[in-house]
Each structure stands twice: as C-alpha cells, then as structure tokens.
Structure 1
Amino acid sequence: MIVQTPVYFDRTEEFVSSDSVTLDTLQSVVAYRYIARYAPELSAPFVEADFAFRRKTLSGQKTQRPRWKGCVNRVTNAFPGLVGKYYAFMRSDDAKIRLAQEMVTQIQDSFREDLKRLNWLDEPTREAALDKLGSVTKHIGHSTLEETFPFQLRSDASFVENLQVVSNYELDRDIARIGNSINRDEWVTTGAVVNAFYVPRANRIVLPDGILQSPFFAQDRHFVRNFGSIGSIIGHELTHGFDSSGRHYAGDGNLRDWWSNVTSNEFLKRSEGLVTQYNSYEVLSQTGSGKRLGYTNGKITLRENIADNGGVKIAFAAYQKYTTDQETQDDSSSMSQAERNLSVNVADKLFFISFAQSFCSKRSDASIINGLASNAHTIEQWRVNGVASNSHEFANVFSCPADSALNPKIKHQLW
C-alpha cells in the first residue's frame, strides 16, 4: 500500500480530536462529502447549490455547463473503455497512431542522449536512469481490451442509483485485486480525453486519442509544430519518471532507491533552484485591472516544473535531429507552400510558439487564487515563460539580450 499524503491522516486526527469540533460538525462534514459526490446529478436545488460553491465561488465560473456535457462526463467515467473505442471509431485512424508512436520513440531517443551527456549524474545512477527510460511502456490511442460488466442498470431506477451500482462494482473489483499482480495492459483512462499521463507504478506514458488533435497534433502541418506541441507533452510525461516523485520508482514500477547519495543530493540542490525560481513569479489578474493576486508556489509545482523544463528541452533536441535526418519539409500534400518554405530560424521559432500556444488560457480571479493555493501546475503564463527563461535554445533562437527576463544569467535545469 502506498500512502502518498500521510500528513492528511495526522491532520484529520487533530481535527477530530479538537475540543472545538462537535459531533454535529463531524456529522455535517461526512454528510456533505457524501452528498457533494452526487450533487451534480441530483435535483435542481442540489445542482444549483453545488455550482454556487464549487464552481462559482471557488473557480469563478459564471454559468453552468449544459446538462449534456455532464452526462457525457459521467458516462465516460463509468465506461471509459467503451467511450474510448467509440471515440476512436469516429475520430482516429491507424496513420495518426503510427505517427504518434514514431514521435514517442524519437523523443525517448532524445532523452537517452541527454542522459548520456548530463555531467551531474554519476555512472551508476546514469546506468539505472538509462535502464528505466528503456523500460518505459506506452499506451497510445485507446484500450483494445475486451470488457465485461457484471452488473445491471435499471431503467426504473434513478440516475444516481445507477451511478451507485457502477461505483459499488468498481469498489468491489478494486478490493478483489489486492494482493494480486498488476495487469500492465490495463488503461488508466479513456481514449476520449484531451490529456496525457505518466503512470509511475507501471513506468508508462499514456497518450490518448483525444489529445492527438489540433492544436497539439496534426498530420497535415509542418513537423516542427507537432514537436513543439505534442512533442513537448511527450517529453513532459517521460520526464515525470525522473521528477521529485517519479525518481523514487524503478524501471519495473516498484518503489526502489536507485540513486547514489552524491547524485541524489545534487538532484535536491538543483531542485531548490527551480523552487526559488518559481516562487518569484508575480501573478496578476487577467481582467485588465492589474491587481496582484499572489505569487506562484515553487514547492507544490516542483514536479510539473521539472517535467515542463525537461520536456521542452528533449523535444527540441528531437526536432533538431529529425530536421538533420530528413528534408526540412513534410511529405504531406496538405501542407501549405508557406510552411514548406520555412527557413530553419523561422522553424525553430515556430517550435517554441507551438509549445506556448498549447497553454493559451483566460482565467477568473477566483480560479487563479484557488490554483495558486492548490494546483500542482504553475499558472500558464509562467509555465511558458519559466521554461523559456531556462532554455539556452530559446535565447539563441530569439536573440534574447543577456541578463534579460527571458535570458537570465542563471538557468535552472535538471534534465
């Protein structure tokens, strides 16, 4: 059993033991947690109360999403494999999957070369890191496993009652798996999701069909745009295997320390540099008021910042190698003539522009404030600029003046 946040139990015990916490309060907390789980699927008063607190107050969302979106979300959560197969039938194809697989291999190769060059790794740790990288498995597209559903949904039952049937089945299934070997072919998500993942306990990256679309990926555009967007994401997920948490897992997915003391200490020292850097970014309101809402938190975002910086670095190196190995134009007849004729310098710039475009966003003040306190990812503006300021390649491509905001003298990088 892996308990990722043991402090939660310590604080829960303190809360329950406090003289200021009455039995009525505890009962209210338990009742709220149970009701909140199903509130979006209950009658209008529950839906409206849930939206007012969790969406409007905490995130600044102004209007409720259409009910059909909630239904799609619930069905996807209940039957991820089936929905993934249907999405793939409608939107995916073998050529797209093959291109994505090729990019994963290219970026994995780029990471391998990076590990060979890093001078802060001693040889035993380097060999272990290379072994782990070589052991990474990939889930690309969607699950092809056959599924069975040993339960029955009833048309005369309420929507929530049917959701509880599914939830109870999943709980019983998970309990029955305790003590058994892991099915490493099983997907952790549906193929119909716009996201990507790294699973440390399986040493696997997951690239679902849902993210293999614009603006992240397309077959009919200059390859540099794919390297800048989905390539950086692939690099990000691979780097998660070597971040402040993923580094504690070995190539077989088991918790095992494969670091020498010297290299581990160097990792921690370099990590502190990233923490300090990402503690310094001021975050302003996006409403145009210029109001300061706080600062980014380099500690709670460390894992993602390590992955962001490493991902862009190895994706850019993979793009450069691909450019050297191939003609600097895509074979697709759908590509515009303007993209075919890109100069190397313009293409290099387009890599970073494509990376940045993936993070275009607009947030309410409430969403920003909540994210600064709890989100493991740095807010989008500083995810992009933080990576750019650590990149020698970015500074060279855009001719950034020395010691400028995006080309500081000290650059923080692990991988």
Structure 2
Amino acid sequence: MKLKTLIFAGVALAAIAAMSGGALAAGKAAFGTWGYDATSMDASVKPGDDFFKYVNGGWDKRTEIAPDRTSAGVDVVLTDQAERDVRRIVEDLAKDPTKAGPGGRRVGDFYAAWMDEKGIEARGTASLKPYLAKIAAAKTKTDVAKLFAAPGFESPVNVGINPDLDNPNVYVVGLDQAGLGMPNRDYYLREGAKYDAFRKAYRDYVIKLQTLAGIKNAAAKADAIIALEHKIAEAHWKPEETRDVDKINNPMTVAKLTATAPQFPWSAMFASTGLGAPKKVLVSEPSEVKAAGELFASTPLAVWKDYLAYHFIRTHAAYLPHAFDQANFDFFSHTLRDVPVQRERWKRGVQIINRGLGEEVGRIYVAEHFPPEAERQTGELIANLTAAYGERFQKAAWMDEATRKAALVKLGTFDPRLGHPKKWIDYSSLQISRTDLLGDAVRSEQFEWKLELSRYPKPVDKGLWEMVPQEVNAYYNPLANQITFPAAILQPPYFDPNADPAANYGGEGAVIGHEMGHGFDDEGRHFDETGKVRDWWTADAAKAFGARTGALGAQFDGYEPVAGVHINGKLTMGENLGDLGGIEAAYAAWRRYVVQHGEPPVIDGFTGDQRFFIAYAQSWQDKVREGALRQQLLTNPHSPAEYRVNGIVRNVDAWYAAFNVKPGDKLYLPPEQRVHVW
C-alpha cells in the first residue's frame, strides 16, 4: 500500500507555476499528454457512480497482479523501479566490494551472502544451532525474560527506546504489546470457517518449522505455543484502541511497572539490554502488560522456551535453507495473502539490504537518482501548501479563535524533509560475513539495538529518518512535527515537472497535503508545535471536530470491501481525514493557481478541475488480492485505495461541480451529509 503508519496522502499548491510555466511544461509528461494515461479510463462508467473505475477501470481490466505480488498499481511500478536501481548498486558491490570503501564491502558481502543459495543449503541448520542452544540453556524464568528483551527474540512485551510523549526532546524506555505469530489478534479470535482454516494452516506451519529444525514432539509443542499465543491475543488491544494518544501515554517508574506486572524481573531485563535502571518507562497498553505478566507466571518454563525457539526460527526463516524460507512464504504470503509465487531472490535481497544497510545504499542511490532540482521544486510545492493550509484554517468556521491561532503556530513550525537525511548512519561497527547469512541478520538486529542504546538517554536526534531514500513512501512524525518525503516517491505520476499543473496539484500535492494534515487530525491534535502531547484545542472546537469525524467514520464503517469484513472507521480515521483534508486543501491551492495564471485550457476534453480530480484518482491506481486486502482491513490504518478515492471525493463539493454529479448517481451525497474538515 502507498502509505504506512503516520503517513498520509497530501495535496499540491501553487508552486507548480514556477515548475510548469503556467500551462503544460516544455518537456513531455511521463504519463499521457498531461500526466494521465487516458487508456486507463473506463468511459462506460459514470464518474458519479464509481469515480475510481471511471479513472482506472481500463487499467484494472487489462492489468494482472504479478504472481509474486499482493497488489498491482502505481506504487508497485515505482517500487519495482527503485528495486532495479538498488539491484544494480548492490550487485556491483557484490562483484567488487572495494568500489565504495568499507561501506561498499558491507553491502556487497551481505548481498552475496543472501544470494549464495548453494552455500546456505550446504551449511544446513548449523548456523541456527547456537541460537537454539542459547534458549535451551535458560534455566530459570529470569533467563527467559532476559531473552525476551534481547534483539532478535520474540516477547509478549516489546522493549524499545522512543521519544517521550510528554517531552519529545528526550528518549524514554517504551513497552508495547507484542508476541503473536499471526498478523494480529483477529486471526486468533475471529469466528468463521475462513479463520478456522487460517488457524489450522498456522498449526501446520508451526509444526513444520520445528520439524525442519530437528525439534522433537513438534505437534504437542505447537499446540502449547498456539494456546499461549491465543491467550496473548485475548489481552491485546484492538488496533483502533492503540491510536488513542491519551490511552497509550502511561509513564511509569520501574516500581509502578513492577506493581503492574510483578511477575517479570524488570530490573534484570533492563540491565541485561544495557538500559541500566531507567527512571521512567512509557507503557502503551498497561492491561496487556499486566496480562502478559500473569501469563509469564502461569505458563511453564518449558513452554516459554519452546515459544522462543519457534519464534526465533519464524522470524529468521528467510535466512535459513530453502525449506524454511518456503514454509514461511507458504503460510504468510500464500495462505494469508493469496500470493501464488515467491518473489525472485534478488528482489527480496534488495529489500533485506534496504532494511539492514538502508542508508549505506541510500547514499549511493541519492547520488545517482535524486537531482538537486527535484529537491528545489518540491520545496517550492511544500511552501505553497503551507500557505494554502493557512488560508483554510482562517476560513474554517468550526474552529474558534484560540484553536485557530494554535493551529497556525503549529503550521508555521513544520519541518519538511526531502530526499535523504543530512547525516548518514555509521555502520562501521557492523560485521558482515559472506558465509554466515543468519549471523549477518542477527548482528544487524543487534546493531540496530546498540544504535538506539547509544542515543539513550541523550537528547532526541531530530535529524534521524524512519525511512530510507529508496523507499516509495512518506510520513508525518507528530513528535517532531516533521513531514518526510524520500527521494523515490518524488517521481511521476505523483510529481512530474513536465506535467500539467492540475495533475501535480492532484498528485504530489495531495500526498504532501495529506502528510501535513496529520498534524491536525484526530491524533495530531494531541501534539503541539514542539511535538509534546498536549491537547491545544478548546472544548468547543473539539466537539465541532468530533461531529465531523463521527460522520466520516460512519461512512467508512459502511463499506465492505471483502464479504464479512468492513472498513474500520475508527482505525482508519486518521488516514481518511488526511485524504479528505488533503484533497480539499490541494483543490483550494489549485484554484489559487488558476486565479494567478488564468483558467487553463481544456486538454483531451477535460477541464482543469477535471484533470485535478482524475490525477488524484490515478495516484491511487491499485488492485489487491483478497487475502492481502483482508489482512489490510484487519490490521492497517489505511483504507483500501478504491475507497480512498470514492469515499473521499463524494464529500468534496468541487468534485460534484466538475463532473456534474447529480442525485441518483451512486456516490451522490446530499450537501448536508458531506463531511468538510478544512
């Protein structure tokens, strides 16, 4: 999918004038004559009945999802290109590791170790045995708890280091729910034949992994492990509950944490990881931690050791011989997400390098694929988007003056980041071997933890990036009031300096505006301009906003993309608000551009306003396998692409005018039922 957690699609503003010269730019647009491939359209569909199919129906009919993919669409095309670009880099380094110094050798050796399938098969499970032996050596539950806290091992409670919600300038130890093998609690708790089949397949998978590793009594151990995970799932919060900032902000002393879950040896766990004795621990889901403590005490030591061994194998199956890797694919990708074929090894190798040495590769990728002009032009776009949002805030009738003033202050302190980090991660302490792939993976996990540990308890480094430059994505970080756009997403059709300005406003403009809008959505409103958790809205403004969000949530609750599985309006609220606020702000910016430069000509039979909305819908061009769609609906805060188009535009007055949408059309909503945010 396009956008991940804390990421939202935005809207474009008047900066396109400087980029595109007022009408079509002198160069050729990458898509069609003005930024849209007209063969993607299905003109037999009325825009007011199904705008997504009207714009993308032709593409949908002729496009097959690649057998190794969960989806097809714009993002897949861009991701495939980024993978090919990175492949060339890493394969060159694997052949000649001296090309980019020590960093190049690390990248080349890691990739070569991954691609050495014959060597991996020949070594068998030898590389796995030391880690299983470490688990087997645990004599007490304190030993097990220390493994819970160690990088590379599973735990019912995850230990991490995060900015403090109450003071985002400092790091704090964090605890959050974890410990499941399947995607989330619903796969354990939902009733129905589909979920019964998933659970049966999961049992077979747990048995198979243990059998491949030479673990005896695999069936009995699998039953005990799954029973334990079922109890953990019962304690897990629902996904939508974890979005409530007030509920997840639970700072505790170690003494209070010990009172909450006295069964865990917290001091020993923290000390074993290098955290020492933290003064403060931020607990996201206290009831889950309490329940996990009770489970820790009531579950036999032997079961916890079996649980640890299985999960270590599961999370590292890709680095083991083919049979492990294939079993992992068969369950998680084929059974759960309906993917027919495993991706080519080089493609998965690129993604592994991106995860383990992402910024090492990113430095080379940026030098080759991110020209300074792209950064300059996108910077102009963001500046104009900021101005447009300011205008929208000034006109938002539901905001009182105190809230409006605070919103404008926060808007003025946005930190936009484009392309790549200014300072790169130093991987020099990470040891990589061409003959120890599993060891490379574990050492990479340990490196990441040591990197986090090196920052604690120092002031927060706000120059860090949560994505790598070669990732097709974007995000908003409420704790730093930052919007971040990696180099790989600043490409057509989102942004094309040779496209029609309307296309850029509806494409990249909507992406940017979406991210900016997160600062003011149902979560962002709880963070002030410094990133501190503080509700800076008045009660009256919050009530008026709540009325709008409630109506939007009810709309999305009514959509049923998969039989029996509706969109969760609460879980997807932030992303839906980002989409709606983003497109409305983008459209306002587009009309601002028109005032400055005059009404644009009709191109290919479409007015400028029509091209704006068509470009928006094109940016969500996407089709997904049912299994992957089901998993998205149960776990992901983003609505499916079709509804990010149809579910959004039906609330936008300008869309009705542009396409003459009337009562009787399937997407028509009476004006009083349309939700307007900004």
- The answer to whether TM tops 0.5 is yes
The 8 Å contact of residues 420 and 468 in structure 2, kept in 1 or not, is answered as: yes
Which structure 1 residue ranges, 5 or more long, are not aligned? 285-291, 330-339
Aligned positions of 1:271-350 closer than 5 A: 271-284=549-562, 292-326=563-597, 342=603, 346-350=607-611
What's 1:58 paired with? Answer: 336
User: Which of residues 653, 657, 660 in structure 2 aligns to 1:399?
Assistant: 660
Seen in structure 2, the aligned counterparts of structure 1 residues 33 and 242 have a Cα distance that, compared at 3 Å, is farther
Name the CA distance, whole Å, in 1 between partners of 2:634 and 2:545: 25
Q: Which amino acid aligns with 1:254?
A: K
Q: Which amino acid aligns with 2:500?
A: H
Residue 647 of structure 2 corresponds to residue 370 of structure 1: no
What's 1:255 paired with? Answer: 533
Residue 648 of structure 2 corresponds to residue 387 of structure 1: yes
Q: More deviation in 384-393 or 260-269? A: 260-269
What's 1:414 paired with? Answer: 677
Seen in structure 2, the aligned counterparts of structure 1 residues 362 and 174 have a Cα distance that, compared at 3 Å, is same
Name the CA distance, whole Å, in 1 between partners of 2:285 and 2:505: 40
Name the CA distance, whole Å, in 2 between partners of 1:150 and 1:178: 20
CA deviation vs aligned residue, 1:232-263 (integer Å, no higher than 9, x gap): 11011000111111111111111122111221
Name the CA distance, whole Å, in 2 between partners of 1:180 and 1:266: 40
User: Which of residues 619, 626, 650 in structure 2 aligns to 1:358?
Assistant: 619
CA deviation vs aligned residue, 1:256-283 (integer Å, no higher than 9, x gap): 2211122122222221111111101132
Aligned positions of 1:159-238 closer than 5 A: 159-238=437-516
The 8 Å contact of residues 527 and 534 in structure 2, kept in 1 or not, is answered as: yes
Q: Which amino acid aligns with 2:648?
A: V
Name the CA distance, whole Å, in 2 between partners of 1:309 and 1:121: 17
Residue 376 of structure 2 corresponds to residue 115 of structure 1: no
What's 1:131 paired with? Answer: 409
Q: Which amino acid aligns with 1:14?
A: A
CA deviation vs aligned residue, 1:54-78 (integer Å, no higher than 9, x gap): 1112211111111111111111122
Residue 91 of structure 2 corresponds to residue 91 of structure 1: no
User: Which of residues 117, 123, 141 in structure 1 aligns to 2:419?
Assistant: 141
Q: More deviation in 405-414 or 209-218? A: 405-414
What is the CA-CA distance between 1:229 and the residue it aligns to?
Answer: 1.0
What is the CA-CA distance between 1:399 and the residue it aligns to?
Answer: 0.8
Name the CA distance, whole Å, in 2 between partners of 1:54 and 1:229: 33
CA deviation vs aligned residue, 1:163-220 (integer Å, no higher than 9, x gap): 2222212212212322321222222211111111101111010111101112212121
The 8 Å contact of residues 293 and 369 in structure 1, kept in 2 or not, is answered as: no
Name the CA distance, whole Å, in 1 between partners of 2:558 and 2:424: 49
Seen in structure 2, the aligned counterparts of structure 1 residues 302 and 172 have a Cα distance that, compared at 3 Å, is same
Name the CA distance, whole Å, in 1 between partners of 2:511 and 2:385: 10
| Matched length | 398
Residue 543 of structure 2 corresponds to residue 265 of structure 1: yes
Alignment TM-score, normalising by the size of structure 2: 0.56
The 8 Å contact of residues 205 and 238 in structure 1, kept in 2 or not, is answered as: yes
What is the CA-CA distance between 1:87 and the residue it aligns to?
Answer: 1.8
Seen in structure 2, the aligned counterparts of structure 1 residues 27 and 406 have a Cα distance that, compared at 3 Å, is same
Q: Which amino acid aligns with 1:309?
A: L
The 8 Å contact of residues 422 and 463 in structure 2, kept in 1 or not, is answered as: no
Q: Percent identity?
A: 29
The 8 Å contact of residues 107 and 318 in structure 1, kept in 2 or not, is answered as: yes
Aligned partner of residue 138 in structure 1, secondary structure: strand
CA deviation vs aligned residue, 1:87-146 (integer Å, no higher than 9, x gap): 222222122211111111111111110001001111111100110011000111112314
Seen in structure 2, the aligned counterparts of structure 1 residues 354 and 156 have a Cα distance that, compared at 3 Å, is closer
What's 1:336 paired with? Answer: none
Q: More deviation in 16-25 or 46-55? A: 16-25
RMSD: 2.3
What's 2:313 paired with? Answer: 35
Q: Which has the larger radius of gyration?
A: 2
Name the CA distance, whole Å, in 2 between partners of 1:30 and 1:11: 19
What is the CA-CA distance between 1:368 and the residue it aligns to?
Answer: 1.8
Aligned partner of residue 507 in structure 2, secondary structure: helix
Which structure 2 residue ranges, 5 or more long, are not aligned? 1-163, 166-173, 177-241, 243-247, 249-283
Seen in structure 2, the aligned counterparts of structure 1 residues 342 and 366 have a Cα distance that, compared at 3 Å, is same
What's 1:337 paired with? Answer: none
Alignment TM-score, normalising by the size of structure 1: 0.89
What's 2:266 paired with? Answer: none
The 8 Å contact of residues 228 and 352 in structure 1, kept in 2 or not, is answered as: yes
What is the CA-CA distance between 1:154 and the residue it aligns to?
Answer: 3.8
Name the CA distance, whole Å, in 2 between partners of 1:355 and 1:320: 15
Seen in structure 2, the aligned counterparts of structure 1 residues 154 and 208 have a Cα distance that, compared at 3 Å, is closer
Q: More deviation in 172-181 or 1-10? A: 1-10
The 8 Å contact of residues 360 and 427 in structure 2, kept in 1 or not, is answered as: no
Name the CA distance, whole Å, in 2 between partners of 1:56 and 1:269: 41
What is the CA-CA distance between 1:28 and the residue it aligns to?
Answer: 4.0
Name the CA distance, whole Å, in 2 between partners of 1:365 and 1:408: 28
Aligned partner of residue 676 in structure 2, secondary structure: coil
Name the CA distance, whole Å, in 1 between partners of 2:384 and 2:664: 33
The 8 Å contact of residues 196 and 206 in structure 1, kept in 2 or not, is answered as: yes
Seen in structure 2, the aligned counterparts of structure 1 residues 20 and 273 have a Cα distance that, compared at 3 Å, is farther
What's 1:67 paired with? Answer: 345
What is the CA-CA distance between 1:21 and the residue it aligns to?
Answer: 6.1
What is the CA-CA distance between 1:312 and the residue it aligns to?
Answer: 0.6
Q: Which amino acid aligns with 1:10?
A: S
The 8 Å contact of residues 319 and 441 in structure 2, kept in 1 or not, is answered as: no
CA deviation vs aligned residue, 1:316-337 (integer Å, no higher than 9, x gap): 11111122223667xxxxxxxx
Seen in structure 2, the aligned counterparts of structure 1 residues 156 and 95 have a Cα distance that, compared at 3 Å, is closer
Name the CA distance, whole Å, in 1 between partners of 2:380 and 2:617: 23
Seen in structure 2, the aligned counterparts of structure 1 residues 154 and 77 have a Cα distance that, compared at 3 Å, is closer
Seen in structure 2, the aligned counterparts of structure 1 residues 215 and 21 have a Cα distance that, compared at 3 Å, is farther
Name the CA distance, whole Å, in 1 between partners of 2:632 and 2:578: 18
